[in-house]
Amino acid sequence: MPVIKYPRIRDPLFYEWDRKAQKCGLRHTIYAVNGDQYTGEWLDNLKHGKGTQIWKSTGAIYSGDWKSGKRDGYGSYSILDPVTKEYKRVYTGWWENDQRSGSGTFFYPNGECYEGEWSNGMRSGWGKMHYKDGSSYEGQWLADQPNGQGLLRLPNGNRYEGGWKDGKKHGPGKYFYPDKGQLLEGIWVADIPKCGVLVDFGRENAPAPPELPLPEV
């Protein structure tokens, strides 16, 4: 009796290629079509866990935590200096959904630096900004601007303590003039003092006090 052999059903070859291409766990460096490269952990074919990404177009590098293909967790982002060919750190801190979120430190190209809280890639929460002119602001931020209560220190020693809105002095506040030994306490609107009282404050230690003391209110 003849034996009938039926051909075994086989999946198309590209199914096998796709199965082998699926990435999960720790892998060696993987190169994208555009030249970007990633070395680290994967889950369900997405960057997930610890890993390092290098972008070919900019030379930028990120090393840290990933979640479902996006930077999420703690990590450091640096760029390549076109002149010195050395890496300059831009941001070190926490990320969420590929954006700076949580506590972190950002270094600006002009030498300024921000240390504090972030939300959706913007300065939001409590933080301290060091400006290139030597001044600094420490306090509350919202949508990348001083907003709430904060302290501004100027290079000449003067300082402002009080309310802020959209990056400008706004609301009740105190402006100290240590060089003159005076204090202005009042209400600010969009960086302009609208009403207030100027009194002597630390006049005996001021290096350049006015000729006559201010009368008491």
- pLDDT by position in tens, the chain (length 217): 555 655 565 655 544 544 555 666 666 788 889 999 999 999 988 999 999 999 999 999 999 999 999 999 999 999 998 888 899 999 999 999 999 999 999 999 999 999 999 999 999 999 999 999 999 999 999 999 999 999 999 999 999 999 999 999 999 999 999 988 899 999 999 999 999 999 988 777 777 777 657 666 5
Tell me which residue range forms the domain holding 190: 108-212
Q: Is the dihedral of CA 135, 141, 146, 148 positive or negative?
A: negative
pLDDT of residue 179: 85
> What pTM does this model have?
0.83
Q: How many CA atoms lie within 13 A of 1 on its CB side?
A: 1
pLDDT of residue 14: 42
Q: What is the CATH number of the domain that holds 177?
A: 2.20.110.10
Cβ neighbourhood burial of 115 (10 Å; 0-12, 13-18, 19+): middle
Cβ neighbourhood burial of 204 (10 Å; 0-12, 13-18, 19+): exposed
**Is residue 61 a part of any domain in this protein?**
no
**Is residue 38 a part of any domain in this protein?**
no
pLDDT of residue 163: 98
pLDDT of residue 68: 95
pLDDT of residue 21: 54
Do residues 150 and 138 lie in contact, with contact meaning Cβ atoms separated by under 8 Å? yes
Count of the separate structural domains present in the chain: 1
**Is residue 190 a part of any domain in this protein?**
yes
**Residue closest to 46 by CA, chosen among 63, 75, 73, 23:** 23
